[in-house]
Amino acid sequence: MHTMGRWRGIATAFTIAASLVTGSITVGTTPVIEAASDTTRLVPLEPCRLADTRSGDGISTISGRRMTIRLGHCGIPDDATAIVATTTVIFPQSRGYLVGYPAGTAEPNSATLNWTAGRTWGNSTTITVGDDRSIEFYKSDGFGTGNVTVDVTAAFVPAAEATAGRFVPLPAGRRLLDTRSTATPAAGDVTTVPIPDGIPADATALAVTLTATDTTGRGFFTLYPSGGERPEASALNTDGVGQFRSATTIVPVGELGFDIYQSIGADVIVDMTGWFTGESATSSADGLFVPLAPTRLRDTRPEASPIHPGGSIEIPIDHDAAAVALSMTMADPDTRGYITAHAARTERSETASGYGFPFENTAQFALTAVSGTGLSVFSANGTELTVDLLGWFTGTPAPETTDSPAPNPVPRQQVLAIGDSSMAGVDRTFANGALQGADFTFLARSCRRLVRESCNGREGPIPPPTAYQTLSGVGYKQFDALVMMTGYNDIMPGFSSDVPQIVALARAKGIRRIVWLTMAREFRTDKGGPGAYQVYQFHNDVIRANAAAHDFMYAIEWSSIVRQVPWWTYSDGIHLDRPGGYGAADLISRSVAHVTGQPCPQPERPGGTTDGVCPDPGTRPPIDVRTLYGI
C-alpha cells in the first residue's frame, strides 16, 4: 500500500476491487519464528501417491477451498512430524495458488504452488504434520476447479542426534547432469544419475533441482532409487511443446544413485545442493531438521525495487542454521530467467534454484546452505520475489568469503509520463530540464481523458488519444515506470472504473511501478464548474484507494503541495505557470526516484545532500524551485 500516510477512508459512492540504490537490499527486521517441533531426521520413502482428487484416494475431507489428508498410508512413520511432498495441479480452470500447512491451523500467507488457467504445474515442499496426524491444503479457486495430486518422497521423525538422515549442505550448488551437451533422452527413456564423487556411498537421499528443457509435449518426470520399480508419482510436469520447467525435491537414492523416467522427449539438467547421511556417518546433532509452518521472510513487491537483472538480495536468518528449506516464488519476471539461492557473501555457483516466466508466478522449493549473514538470492533476468521459510537444519553456518553484499544495481529507468493540460504546463513553461534521474517519454496533451473519448484541446481540432490508447501503443517492457497526471477532464461516474483499467493495462505492458499524482482541488474561479471540488475529491479518493490496493502503485500528493504554493498555478488552481512547471517536473523526478529506491536527482536545497532513498515528495515541504533551478 503506497499513499500519503495510511489512507483508510473510501467514498461510499464507489467500490474498489483489490484483486535504487546500488548495493544489496536487506530487510530491517527478521520475523520471530517458533519451531513447530523439535529436531528431526529424514526417513526416505518409496515415492508414493498420497492423494488424488480425481479418484478421491487418500483424502479425508474436501470442502470448498480446503482439503485434509490423514497420513495413514504410503509408509509414513507414525511419529512423523513433517513430510516432503510434491503437489501438482492438473488442468486448472482459472489462475490461482495452493498452500500446504498443518491441519488445525489457519492457512498461512504463503504459496506452495502457483498456476495460470489451463497449465498443469507442480512443486515440492515440506509440510508440518498437524492435528490428528493430518495436513491441510488451501486452494484459492476451490477444489472444484482443476484436480490436485499429492506425492510423498520422505518424512521427518524426531531425533536429538542421528547417524542417517542428517542434511549436509554443499557450500555451492553442483551440476550432476546436463543432457544438452550429450544426447537428448526420448519419451520413455530412463536416465541414471549416480551418486556423485565425494558423497558417501550409503547416502540416503539427495537434494536436487530437476530442469526439463525443449519439451516435446505434455508429460511428466519421475525420480526414484536406481534399479527400483518406477512408482506412480511425479516430480515434474509439463503441458506443451518447447517448455522450460524445473522442480526441486528430495530424492531417495540406492547404491547406484537415482533414475529419471520421462514420459516425453526433453533435455534434462540436474543440480544438487546437498545430501542426507547414511548409517556409516558419525552420530551427530548437526544436519537435523526443525520444521515450521510456512513463514514469510521477504516480499519485494511492496519494496521500492525488485531484484534487478544480474542483481541479488540478502535475507537474514534468525537461527544458528547450516541450511534452510524454502519456498520461493518468482512473481512476474521481466523475461524467462532463473534464480540462484546460496549462502550470503559466499561464491555463487553457475546453477539454478528455479526458473520463472513472464506473466507467471512460479513457486520453487529449495534447500540451501546459509552463512552468518543469511541467504542471498540472485536473479539472472530480474524478478519480484517472495521467500517463505519452511524450516531449518542445525549446524554451523557456511563461512563467508567476502565482507561485501552482492550488488542489486538499479538500471537506468525508462519512464512514460501521460498527462492532460495540467501536466502539459511542464512543456509550456520549458521546465523539461527538471525531469532528471531517468529517461522520460513525456506525453502531455490538453483535454486528454483516461478511457472515454477525449475532448478538443488547445493543440488543435482533433481530440488527443486517451491515456488508455496511448498506453496501448507502447511495447511490452518498454517502460519501467508510469507517471499519470490525468483525469481533470473525466467525470465521476466513469472514473472509478477507468483507473483500474489503466492500472491493469500498465501491468500487462510489464510496467513495474505506477505513480499517480492526486489532483489539485482548490479553485479561485468557477472554471471547474459547479461541484468541481467534490468531483476532484472523489477522483483523489479513487486514486488513493487503488494505490492502497496495489503494492506497485503510489499516490503522490500533488494536491497537498499545490495548496501550499498557490503561485505555482494560474487562477484556476490547476494549470501551471513557470514555477509550477518546474515544481511539477521536480516532483515527478523525485517520485520516480522514490518508488524505484534511488537517491533524489537533486537535493531539496542548494548545497544539500541526496544520500539514501529519495523520500516521498508528496510528504515533504514544497521545493523552492526558484532558488534550486535559478528561475
Among 3.30.70, 2.60.120, 1.10.530, 2.40.160, name the CATH number for the domain at 40-158.
2.60.120
User: Which of these, 629, 614, 622, lies nearest to 304 by C-alpha position?
Assistant: 614
Q: Indicate if the pLDDT at residue 614 is higher than 70.
A: yes
> What pLDDT, on a 0 to 100 scale, did the predictor assign at position 239?
87
C-alpha cell at 596: 524505484
For residue 207, with 0-12 CB atoms within 10 Å meaning exposed, 13-18 middle and 19 or more buried, which class applies? buried
Q: Indicate if the pLDDT at residue 70 is higher than 80.
A: yes
Instruction: Over range 562-568, report the average pLDDT.
Output: 93
Question: Are the C-beta atoms of residues 312 and 204 closer than 8 Å to each other?
Answer: no
Block residue for cell numbers 519452511:
390
> What pLDDT, on a 0 to 100 scale, did the predictor assign at position 2?
46
> What pLDDT, on a 0 to 100 scale, did the predictor assign at position 14?
31
Instruction: Over range 525-538, report the average pLDDT.
Output: 65
> What pLDDT, on a 0 to 100 scale, did the predictor assign at position 357?
84
Block residue for cell numbers 492500472:
503
> What pLDDT, on a 0 to 100 scale, did the predictor assign at position 320?
82
Q: Indicate if the pLDDT at residue 567 is higher than 90.
A: yes
> What pLDDT, on a 0 to 100 scale, did the predictor assign at position 319?
79
Q: What's the whole-number average pLDDT of the chain? A: 89
Report phi then psi at 552, rounded to 5.
-90, 0
pLDDT digits (tens, 9 = 90+) for 426-467: 999 999 999 999 999 999 999 999 999 999 877 778 899 999
Pairing of the two strands 244-252 and 82-90: unpaired
How many residues are there in the chain?
A: 631
Question: Are the C-beta atoms of residues 83 and 76 closer than 8 Å to each other?
Answer: yes
- Looking at CATH, the fold of the domain delimited by 414-629 is given as Rossmann fold (3.40.50)
CA–CA distances in Å: residue 329 to residues 2, 186, 244, 296:
22, 30, 16, 11
Pairing of the two strands 134-139 and 66-70: antiparallel
> What pLDDT, on a 0 to 100 scale, did the predictor assign at position 28?
38
CA angle 348, 295, 276 (to 5 degrees): 55
Block residue for cell numbers 495430486:
149
Instruction: Over range 215-228, report the average pLDDT.
Output: 94
Out of 10-24, 342-356, 445-459, pick the least confident.
10-24
Predicted structure pTM score: 0.81
Question: Are the C-beta atoms of residues 105 and 41 closer than 8 Å to each other?
Answer: no
The distance in angstroms from the start CA to the end CA of the chain is 36
The pLDDT-based confidence of 268 (bands split at 50, 70, 90) is very high
CA angle 515, 519, 525 (to 5 degrees): 160
Tell me the C-alpha distance between 553 and 547, whole Å.
5
The pLDDT-based confidence of 141 (bands split at 50, 70, 90) is confident
The domain limits of the chain are 40-158, 414-629
The pLDDT-based confidence of 531 (bands split at 50, 70, 90) is low
Residue type, 253: V
